[in-house]
Amino acid sequence: MILSVARDVVFIGTAMIILASIYGVVGLLFSAIIADILTFILTIWFTLGFYHKAKERNAYSTSLESISNGKTIINNHIVITISREYGSGGRYVGQLLAKKLGINFYDKELIKLIAKDTGFTENYIENNIESSNSLNSFYNNDDKMFASETKIIKNLAKKESCVIVGRCADYILRDNKSTYKVFIFNSMKEKIKRAVKYYGLKEDNAEKEIDKINKRRAKHYKHYTNRNWNDYNNYDMVINADKLGIENTVNVIENIIVKMDK
């Protein structure tokens, strides 16, 4: 659609106006050729952009596959909760760790379970799961979603070993002795770099958006736990992903868990 509009409206229209003013009727004859050339250049630009994005996705998938090929065997029932700053790579750490340990990974997968339990649409839950609307003193939709995810997370922790990202899971499972609670953070510079590269944020607005999301997470966590989200005393492991990198972070967590699991 973009290419079609660009050729038939922008390029050909502009070319007709400019060439007609310079060369008269003869200029009109060349406007379509000029439009086609410009459209061809634009097509190449789009294609290269798609190619680079596909290459990044392929590298991501290859990394997952290479790690999953060397699965670590764990002896006991364990649950790992990953709390993370937006842009820290915490979700990716959780995904790689689950693959490496050969256990299930829950992040957006929880949304489907909550939707089934509450009757809310997945889209509604995804857009409101980290809110904490306390304008109503009565039981509201936010409370209903939190109650649902609490029940679901406790059930998952009871029946299987798994990795759970976010959702106040560290607090919900605070009394579960088989739970390892991890917090991942990094510098704003690296958060911006990851957010622009992987999440599609614009670089000039990335820091503002990252702060907004992290403040929303902190507010939601405080509302339902009465604890500070970035208080490191809440966690068993706190890791700066800048220092170790993503895969080394996965290895450190895995090594600690394997030693504790014996």
Tens of pLDDT, residue by residue over 96-146, are: 999 999 999 999 889 999 999 988 888 888 887 776 554 444 457 888 899
Starting at the edge strand found earlier in the chain, the sheet holding 179-185 runs 104-106, 162-165, 79-84, 179-185, 237-240
Please enumerate in sequence order all residues whose Cβ is within 8 A of that of 7, keeping only pairs 6 or more positions apart, or say none: 35, 36, 38, 39
60 and 83 housed in the same domain: no
Q: Which three-class secondary structure state does DSSP give residue 183?
A: strand
224 and 249 housed in the same domain: yes
194 and 91 housed in the same domain: yes
* Residue that terminates a domain, selected from 65, 82, 117: 65
Tens digits of per-residue pLDDT, 38-93? 888 878 887 877 776 666 556 555 544 444 455 555 667 899 999 999 999 999 99
Task: Please answer whether residues 16 and 34 qualify as being in contact, where contact means their C-beta atoms are separated by less than 8 angstroms.
Answer: no
Is the pTM value of this prediction over 0.85?
no
Number of domains in the chain: 2
Torsion, Cα of 187, 189, 192, 198 (10° steps): -80
130 and 16 housed in the same domain: no
Task: Please answer whether residues 111 and 210 qualify as being in contact, where contact means their C-beta atoms are separated by less than 8 angstroms.
Answer: no
29 and 137 housed in the same domain: no
158 and 29 housed in the same domain: no
Domain that holds residue 174: 73-261
Measure the CA–CA gap between 216 and 224, rounded to whole angstroms.
13
Helix axes 141-159, 109-118, angle to 10 degrees: 120
